[in-house]
Amino acid sequence: MGKRFWIAGAVLALASIIAVPRANDDLLPDDPVYFRFARVRFNENGRFFRFGWAHDYPRAERNFLKILSEVTSVQTTPESYTIVDLDDPRIMDYPLLYFSEPGTWGVTPAEAENLREYFRRGGFAIFDDFDGPWQWAAFMSSMKRVLPERKMERLTLDHPIFQCFYEIETLDMVAPRSYGPAEFYGMSDDTGRLQVIVNFNNDIGDFWEWSDTDFFPVSLSNEAYKLGVNYVIYAMTH
């Protein structure tokens, strides 16, 4: 749509991360039209204690949802986030799932079946914050258990997800850490609708989390917000 917003100035200072990740269900709006950001809690190949799935939680959610509510007509609030488990049928209630550090993701048969059904019903997932060949191999091993017939394809700038709200000008994004060059991948259904977006060698959640500080340049936080907004808009309109 060619919209241009100065995003970073809209972010307020928010509460610091809690020690033990917990869901925010008690604070969610009752109105079902509200968008809820659902973060996936998963087994890190048998190591629940690492909490890699909770990296950037909940500051990333709060900052991102505040921006989303201010620059779009999506009805949400900074507290409209929750944690979901992949074997819980209630994942069907959420149009979008967010995975952090999927390079250590281990999926059980029950979780794979439930997530496969989620995609069959039209769900959308973001995979963020992982890098390197070992983590990619581990991630793809789990994805093959979920969607064995799907192919992972590298996305280019002309894909509709990068143009559906903000017109993303480049995918040559500088990662927040010393990752390799940022790359974007996706999986689509039989009709060509994208259902999986992968931020590889990147961590947009980190930019969201620290956007109300001077930890990262404002320009990089802005680009991370634009990507996140586009992901939500694409998921809810395609």
| Residue 61 maps to a domain | yes
The pTM assigned to this predicted structure is: 0.86
Mean pLDDT of 87-91: 96
| Residue 3 maps to a domain | no
CA gap 76, 67 in Å, rounded: 10
| Residue 208 maps to a domain | yes
pLDDT tens, residue by residue, 139-183: 999 999 999 999 999 999 999 999 999 999 999 988 777 668 899
Q: Where are the beta strands (DSSP E) in the chain?
A: 37-41, 81-85, 96-100, 124-130, 153-154, 183-188, 194-200
Reported confidence tier of residue 30, pLDDT bands at 50, 70, 90: low
pLDDT tens, residue by residue, 64-76: 999 999 999 999 9
Phi and psi at residue 30, to the nearest 5°? -75, -25
pLDDT exceeds 70 at position 62: yes
| Residue 2 maps to a domain | no
| Residue 186 maps to a domain | yes
| Residue 141 maps to a domain | yes
CATH number at residue 37: 3.40.50.12140
The letter for the amino acid at 205 is G
| Residue 1 maps to a domain | no
DSSP string, 189-217: -TTS-EEEEEEETB-HHHHHHTTTTTSS-
Reported confidence tier of residue 216, pLDDT bands at 50, 70, 90: confident
| Residue 203 maps to a domain | yes
Q: How many other CB atoms are found less than 10 A from the CB of residue 85?
A: 14
Question: What percent of the chain shows pLDDT beyond 90?
Answer: 73
Q: What is the residue range of 178's domain?
A: 8-237
- Say if strands 183-188 and 153-154 run parallel, antiparallel, or are unpaired: antiparallel
User: How many domains does the chain contain in total?
Assistant: 1
